[in-house]
Structure 1
Amino acid sequence: LHCCHRNMSLEFGIVEEGGIRCSYHGWKYGLDGTILETPCEPPASQVRTRACLGAYPVIESKGLAFAYMGPPEEQPPFPVMDTFDEAGDEMLPYLIESPCNWLQVMENAWDPFHVVYLHTLAVRSQFIDAFAEMPMIEFHESRTGEFYTNVRRVDDIVWIRCHDHMLPSFTQNGGHFPVPDKPRYFGRCGLSRWITPVDDTHTLVIAWRHFRDGDDPRGLTDKSKVGFGTTDFYGQGPDRTYEQRQRDPGDFDAWVSQGPKNVHERENMGFTDRGVAKARRLLRNAIRSVASGNPAPQPTDGFDGVIPTYGGDTMLRIPKQEGRDDGAVLKEISIDIAEIYKSGDHLQGDARNEFIRSRLKEYEARWQ
């Protein structure tokens, strides 16, 4: 944003009550972009009536700034997810840039199978050993978008991990350092993030990292690492040497090394790419819909208040069932848990959490 006097950048402006002042000649702008003062001009000067700056409404929340940049008459309500204001949840913002197209970062979140190899079997366990188990994946529609359940068995614990996806680029996932050794009912997400394109070949991950009691039994989180250019879980940015990244690659190395813009025609996708294919299809359909004159879908569509989400971890004590294929059992559980989660959408806050947790305990008891 530049001063409309002589184009000095207002990144060097002085923020004042009711606006910002250019430090070059003192022109002051109001919150709506109107020029309020031109102190170096003669008192009779009318220059301030002939120009103004563009302005967009901004909401600040817990260290992140959200701007609406569309037509004023189409401005939707600010979307407040149920994970944005939970008691006992410390939310720390972070931002990391990646020199690649935003779809490469976004598609990583739609690809639960990479966790098995990249994060666990390729070199070492970057998070927890249980991620080495191949998951049972099911995709589910919600009123706000899509989510998937990611189910593993760890002895007699069935671990249901859930990720949220809302078009075009909002995601939430489970915890980063869970220990699936005892029941846990509707544990909530480890991060909420927006995968934001800067241009065709640069992307910002803008996110909140969530910290709650019980999320990290082994004490592996580090709040001091969460901030500008860094976060506390492995492989999200260029904060390692090239040699270190070659020896022990992470997510950043996967999506950046695809190139500035990944060429889809060179890919050979398989069964494990169902999520990526689904994401591309949903995005193309949404683009075509908007291009045809339809409004862009909003998370707030159909909701008057807080928006229900599903990201997080549930762990149920369900032993293997005699005489039944365990894969079929896990698939059944995956579908049932998604329906239990959605059955609480009519409630908000603690009432919703307690409703879902109560239903999960009843469901667990049925398998004993």
Structure 2
Amino acid sequence: MPKAASKAATKATDGFDLTRVGPGTIMGEMMRQYWIPAAASSELKADGDPMRLMLLGEALIGFRDSSGRVGVLDHQCPHRCASLFLGRNEQDGIRCVYHGWKFDVDGKCLEMPNVPPPQDFKEKVRAKSYRVREQAGLVWVYMGSRAEAPPLPMHEALFVPEQDLTVTLLQREANWLQGLEGDIDTSHFGFLHAGHINADDFEEGHPARHTVANRAPEYKVGDTEWGTMYGAFRPEAGGKMHWRMAHFSLPFWTQTPNADFADHVVAKAWVPMDDEHTMLISIYGGRAKGATYSSSKLKSGSGIPGADKLDYLPNSTDWFGRWRSVQNPRNDWEIDRAAQRENRIYTGIRNIVIQDQAVTESMGPIVDHTKEHLAPSDIMIARTRRRLLTVARAFAEKGTVPPGIDDAEVFWKARAGSFYADDKVDWLDAYQQQLKAAIRWPAAGQQAAE
């Protein structure tokens, strides 16, 4: 095989392995070893309506029973495969409306009312179920096969007190990796979000000022215990260096550097619903709670154009009917060409989150990596892809336990944000100095790290 053809074939294989997440795929099986945030706790009410839940390509049903426990089951009843979405959520179980068979949150069959008692065999029947926990206002699902589930990942944002926590969900009509890679691509901010803004428009010290003063930063990138991290650096006057540090954490988490390092607590999960739909779950905590760009102020005192409130469509009961934006591919994300031409908004798209969403969804449901031409500014993307493939293939081929499953405290060592440092200090040393000075949550994480 010619060298060019061999390289293209390898790229295509890598692209397939990275983006497919269903049962039996290498990425999907690796992801199933971790706890996965699947829904907001508020979406499920005691004895309320069952909810369709698509997760890693599996059609599931979520419900909260009379006692407040959450069940996540295969949507098909194990009797005759009718959907439990139609079921009656009642008296600590969900009852299939076809023949009345009833199951608890663990999938145990409680009743077979259409079977004569002498022929009853309910103790031998179970609905496929997954283990569930709740933390930080979210329902978490463990889809792996371990007899004892691993601990929850120790992302710092998960341990911020509830009154200081903001959790948002937003569905994206594209593969999970496309969305995640937008978060670890720092140079796009100076164009996609702020291409219409000049550095002089910002007050001195504003976190976003550097991204438009120098739209082509250089990078330091490295593997970590939790995944990968990067530092985008820009030299400043007086022997200072401005850094924007950010992280990818296995299997699908990001931390973005959109505020000062000391105040910025964030964890963003790019949860694959299936290969072509993703649920972005953003968790913000601390003094910078809920802040991406909406709290940013220009020197004039006005917000960055494009930081409008996100508008949602009403939820439906469809498999992909939850947390959908009003701005979407069917209305071209409501792009305003006049605002684009007049340079009032660089993209013409009025919401910064949707600006990211539009470019990601415009690539198609699953981007073809063989068509890409990665540049030096994409070094974090290339390194993260390699890390994902290495971990997923090691698990598939050798059973090597992926990082952060048994040692969940490693995630606590990641913190994103921007800061200044002496330009002679090594980037990792500068990061550790900032980490020691930052306010951390929880205290238990600090003890584990020490």
Give the TM-score normalised by structure 2.
0.61
Residue 205 of structure 1: aligned partner: 280
* CA drift at 1:274: 0.6
- Residue identity in the other structure for 1:148: Y
- Residue identity in the other structure for 1:117: F
For 1:89 and 1:314, how far apart are their aligned partners in 2?
A: 25
- Residue identity in the other structure for 1:51: V
Give the TM-score normalised by structure 1.
0.73
Residue 61 of structure 1: aligned partner: 135
Range 193-202 or range 162-171, more displaced: 193-202
Matches within 5 A, 1:1-368: 1-73=75-147, 75-87=149-161, 90-121=164-195, 128=208, 130-132=210-212, 133-134=214-215, 135-152=217-234, 159-175=242-258, 178=259, 186-189=262-265, 191-210=266-285, 212=287, 216=295, 218=297, 229=323, 238=328, 241-242=331-332, 244-245=334-335, 247=337, 248=347, 249=349, 250-302=355-407, 307-316=411-420, 330=423, 332=425, 334-341=427-434, 349=442
* CA drift at 1:67: 1.0
> Does the aligned pair in 2 maintain the 1:136–1:330 contact within 8 Å?
no
How many residues in Structure 1 have an aligned counterpart in Structure 2? Answer: 329
SS in 2 for 1:212: helix
Show CA shifts across 1:297-321 (max 9, x none): 1424445x584233332444x7xxx
Gapped runs of 5+ residues in structure 2? 1-74, 202-206, 316-321, 338-346, 350-354
- Residue identity in the other structure for 2:283: W
Show CA shifts across 1:48-102 (max 9, x none): 2443211111112233211111112363222222221124763333332222222
Range 14-23 or range 105-114, more displaced: 14-23
- Residue identity in the other structure for 1:186: A
Evaluate the alpha carbon distance shift between residue 99 and residue 65 of structure 1 in structure 2; reply closer, same or farther with a 3 A threshold: same
Show CA shifts across 1:141-180 (max 9, x none): 43322222234468788653322211221112234xx4xx
Range 78-87 or range 205-214, more displaced: 205-214
> Does the aligned pair in 2 maintain the 1:98–1:237 contact within 8 Å?
no
Evaluate the alpha carbon distance shift between residue 241 and residue 275 of structure 1 in structure 2; reply closer, same or farther with a 3 A threshold: same
Show CA shifts across 1:116-141 (max 9, x none): 2111116899x955431333432244
* CA drift at 1:45: 3.5
Q: How many percent of aligned residue pairs carry the same amino acid?
A: 26
Evaluate the alpha carbon distance shift between residue 238 and residue 212 of structure 1 in structure 2; reply closer, same or farther with a 3 A threshold: farther
For 2:132 and 2:172, how far apart are their aligned partners in 1?
A: 24
For 2:85 and 2:176, how far apart are their aligned partners in 1?
A: 25
For 2:87 and 2:430, how far apart are their aligned partners in 1?
A: 52
- Residue identity in the other structure for 1:244: E
> Does the aligned pair in 2 maintain the 1:130–1:154 contact within 8 Å?
no
* CA drift at 1:275: 1.0
> Does the aligned pair in 2 maintain the 1:101–1:261 contact within 8 Å?
yes
- Residue identity in the other structure for 2:129: A
Range 286-295 or range 145-154, more displaced: 145-154
Q: Which structure has more helix as a fraction of its residues?
A: 2
- Residue identity in the other structure for 2:142: Y
- Residue identity in the other structure for 2:442: G
For 1:122 and 1:331, how far apart are their aligned partners in 2?
A: 33
* CA drift at 1:106: 1.9
* CA drift at 1:47: 4.3
> Does the aligned pair in 2 maintain the 1:80–1:307 contact within 8 Å?
yes
* CA drift at 1:196: 2.1
SS in 1 for 2:363: coil
Range 57-66 or range 1-10, more displaced: 1-10
SS in 1 for 2:400: coil
Evaluate the alpha carbon distance shift between residue 147 and residue 241 of structure 1 in structure 2; reply closer, same or farther with a 3 A threshold: same
Residue 181 of structure 1: aligned partner: none
Show CA shifts across 1:191-248 (max 9, x none): 42221223332222233244636863659688986995268xxxx9628931633742
For 2:152 and 2:444, how far apart are their aligned partners in 1?
A: 22
SS in 2 for 1:39: coil
SS in 2 for 1:163: strand
Range 262-271 or range 48-57, more displaced: 48-57
- Residue identity in the other structure for 1:241: N
Q: Over the residues paired in the alignment, what is the CA RMSD in angstroms? A: 4.0
For 1:333 and 1:96, how far apart are their aligned partners in 2?
A: 37
SS in 1 for 2:158: coil
> Does the aligned pair in 2 maintain the 1:344–1:352 contact within 8 Å?
no
For 1:13 and 1:243, how far apart are their aligned partners in 2?
A: 36
